[in-house]
Amino acid sequence: MPTNSSAQLSAATVLVALLGAHPELSVLTWSVDPLGVLCGQQTAGVGRGDVVDDCAGILGATPVRVKVDRDGSGFAELAAVWRGVPVQVWATYTAPPVPRALGTVVPAGGGC
């Protein structure tokens, strides 16, 4: 049996404890990598990467945000160690739609 199996088991056990104590984090897709790193991800999430902020408060970490586009789309991530297990969490998010005044005509897609 590979030596990484105990690290993976530790990460899986920590994940059970984390989600048991904080079920709101189940909005993330969780996995354990071959080295035993616990990874949580959310793509095209709602909010502005708020789930990463939630994880930061729980795990005692500081999130990093990167604005990807001028429209406000972005990427938030953090790295921490929780209960002896390395944890990485990241989320991508899209900019909220621009509010339009009632009756505004929106150009049709396509072109000549």
pLDDT digits (tens, 9 = 90+) for 7-19: 999 999 999 999 9
The helix/strand/coil state of 82 is strand
- pLDDT-derived band at 66 (thresholds 50, 70, 90) equals confident
pLDDT of residue 5: 82
What is the three-class DSSP state of 100? coil
Distance CA 41, CA 52 (A): 9
Domain count across the chain: 1
Q: Determine, yes or no, domain membership for 48.
A: yes
Minimal CA–CA distance to 66: which of 56, 54, 78, 55? 78
In a domain, 67, yes or no: yes
pLDDT digits (tens, 9 = 90+) for 78-104: 999 999 999 999 999 876 666 667 766
Query: What would the mean pLDDT of 27-52 be, rounded to a whole number?
Result: 89
| Domain of residue 66, residue span | 4-93
Establish if 75 belongs to a structural domain. Answer: yes
Beta-carbon count within 10 A of 6 CB? 11
Largest CA distance in the chain: 66
Tell me: pLDDT of 112 over 50: no
Give residue 70's pLDDT band: very low, low, confident or very high (50, 70, 90).
confident
Question: Is 89 exposed, middle or buried, given 0-12, 13-18 or 19+ CB atoms closer than 10 A?
Answer: buried
Residue 109, domain member (yes or no): no
Which whole-number Å values give the CA distances from 25 to 15, 17, 58, in the listed order?
Answer: 10, 12, 10
Please give the model's pTM, rounded to 2 decimal places: 0.77
